[in-house]
Amino acid sequence: MLRFALRRLAVALLVALTVMTLSFLLTRLSGDLAISIAGAGATPEDVAIIRRAYGLDRPLVAQFLDWAGRAAVGDFGDSYFFKARVSTLIAERMPVTLTLGLTGLAIALAVSIPLGILAAVREASWVDRLVQLVAMVGQAMPSFWLGLILMITFGLRLGWLPISGTGSWEHYVMPGVVLAFSAIPALTRLTRSGMIQALGSDYIRTARAKGLSRLSILGKHALRNAAIPVVSIAAVQLGFMLGGSIVIETVFALHGVGFLAWESISKNDFPVVQAVVLVLALIYIALTMAADLLNGLLDPRLRAA
């Protein structure tokens, strides 16, 4: 297991390095930064001053090494717009996004795993069909629309939940539910198909022949094998939730990283954009690695690979 973990870590570091290079190149290749920063109506002299001030006149490799070296220790420089350290900005916003993403994932798993198991155990019955229908409807529902419906119903009409802000855990319930909805269809379907496959396998027949309890057959023997694709996709979904929650952060006025990214893109705040992209990519890599490790724990055959 240790060798397996180290190998995964090495791969993750390599990918991280590639992502850093790409995210650096993307901002540099998308036009002359100094001109964008100076804005429309700036004189060539202004642009030249800005170019020197931000070190944009130096060779690309030097710029990259400089940036990467500082980024590696968490120093992304200053925001052009917010007049604050980029690292401070991200550190302020990250807890909101993480809380939202983890809430969304927890709700999604809490709903889709039992539903998937239920559908698999009752395969081809009306229960199964109902679950699949719910999953399909969930997939078709746009999240901003669901967000608004929830806000109107639970926030305005019933007054049960706050509709915006981040003051308490209650603020995360509705956005968490909306975020979860985007992951529930895929996770339910995967749990269902994994469980159906596992339940039809010879080792489940063995477990039944051993007279094991239903709980042990479903929860210990079948679910453990069915969980592997679910873990992989859950990691990907959490990645989406962290990086792609801009719509939901906007609808519910949660000032997280997604909202920050949106603001800084519209303001040409390149250091922030670059840092957000990099941090999210690193989180994504870490999630994938965590999923691989978890699957290695679940299935010993994967450790050998």
Partner 1 sequence: MSTSDRGAPPARSPNPPRQSPPLLEIEELRVTFGRTAAVRGASFSLEKGETHCVVGESGCGKSVTALAVMGLLARGARREAARLEFAGQDLRALSERQLSALRGDRMAMIFQEPMTSLNPAYTVGSQMAEVFTRHRGGSRRAALDRAADLLARVGITAPGMRLGQFPHQLSGGLRQRVMIAMALMCDPELLIADEPTTALDVTVQAQILRLLAELQRDLGLGILLITHDLGIVARIADRVSVMYAGEVVESAPTAALFAAPSHPYTRGLLACVPVPGKVKREEALGSIPGMVPRIPPGFTGCAFRDRCDHAAPECAGAVPRQQAGAHEVLCRLPPGWAA
Interaction site with partner 1 (CB under 8 A): 123, 200-203, 205-214, 216, 221, 224-225, 298-301, 304
**Smaller CB separation from partner 1, 140 or 215:** 215
**Smaller CB separation from partner 1, 55 or 200:** 200
CB of 232 to partner 1, least distance (A): 16
Residue pair 156/163 in contact (Cβ under 8 Å)? The answer is yes
**Smaller CB separation from partner 1, 45 or 202:** 202
**Smaller CB separation from partner 1, 70 or 205:** 205
Amino acid at 41: G
Q: Can you give the chain as a three-state secondary structure string?
A: CHHHHHHHHHHHHHHHHHHHHHHHHHHHHCCCHHHHHHCCCCCHHHHHHHHHHCCCCCCHHHHHHHHHHHHHCCCCCECCCCCCEHHHHHHHHHHHHHHHHHHHHHHHHHHHHHHHHHHHHCCCCHHHHHHHHHHHHHHHCCHHHHHHHHHHHHHHHCCCCCCCCCCCHHHHHHHHHHHHHHHHHHHHHHHHHHHHHHHCCHHHHHHHHCCCCHHHHHHHHHHHHHHHHHHHHHHHHHHHHHHCCHHHHHHCCCCCHHHHHHHHHHCCCHHHHHHHHHHHHHHHHHHHHHHHHHHHHHCHHHHHC
**Smaller CB separation from partner 1, 288 or 295:** 295
CB of 200 to partner 1, least distance (A): 8
**Smaller CB separation from partner 1, 225 or 274:** 225
CB of 111 to partner 1, least distance (A): 25
CB of 220 to partner 1, least distance (A): 8
CB of 7 to partner 1, least distance (A): 19
Of 256, 248, 117, 252, the C-alpha closest to 190 is 117
**Smaller CB separation from partner 1, 32 or 123:** 123
CB of 209 to partner 1, least distance (A): 5
Rounded Cα gap, residues 147 and 79, in angstroms = 31
CB of 294 to partner 1, least distance (A): 13
